[in-house]
Amino acid sequence: MKANGPASAQSDRKARLKTLVSLCSSSTSWHSARTHSSRRRCAGQVIAAFRPRFPPAASSYCPRACLTDANPRATGLPPGNYKQKRIEEFVLDQLAEQMSLVDLAGFIQMDVYSFARWFKSAFGMPPHQYIVKTRINRAKTLLRTPSVPLVEIALQCGFCNQSHFTSAFRHHVGILPKVYRELI
């Protein structure tokens, strides 16, 4: 049984540091890796070694199997679609939070540049546009409840204030949220 407290945390940190040193000194370390897939595998091993340092929200989406070279066909989805499905779920669950390109790319363990290109080819639009579109769709759903004020809807959908929500809604839908609510 592990003892709790600062001493066990210190020994756990030392064990993870030893793991990192051994991973980086192995033949597939980051600097000696010749291919992109070898570098991704090494990065996945480092992330797995330091997994407790990641926030619980991100680690709940990333089981241990997907930190290594997981078989995408084991998920029942065609290759490539499992990443898309995971990103969709992550965006929907974290919609009220501020999301950056770095957060999304780190979630599926890709570098930012490659992630942006992959995202645009997979979803047909850049990540920011997809997030705003998803927020607007959630707002349309929430606007069907007349008792919820617009300020509350704006905050639940991840907009910083009602003014930003109103301008984004008008830009994407073509009418104000209040008018949309009255038309439904």
* End-to-end CA, the chain: 59
- 20 is written with which tokens? 């990192």
SS3 125: coil
How would residue 184 be classed by pLDDT, with cut points 50, 70 and 90? confident
The span from the CA of 77 to the CA of 81, in Å, is: 6
The span from the CA of 128 to the CA of 101, in Å, is: 8
What confidence score (pLDDT) does residue 80 get? Answer: 58
Q: Would you say 58 and 91 are in contact if contact means Cβ atoms under 8 Å apart?
A: no
Torsion of CA 31, 21, 56, 139, to 10 degrees: -10
- 138 is written with which tokens? 């959630």
Query: 129-183, which class in CATH?
Result: mainly alpha
User: What is the percentage of the chain residues whose pLDDT exceeds 90?
Assistant: 53
Residues 153-174: tens digit of each pLDDT: 999 999 999 999 999 999 999 9
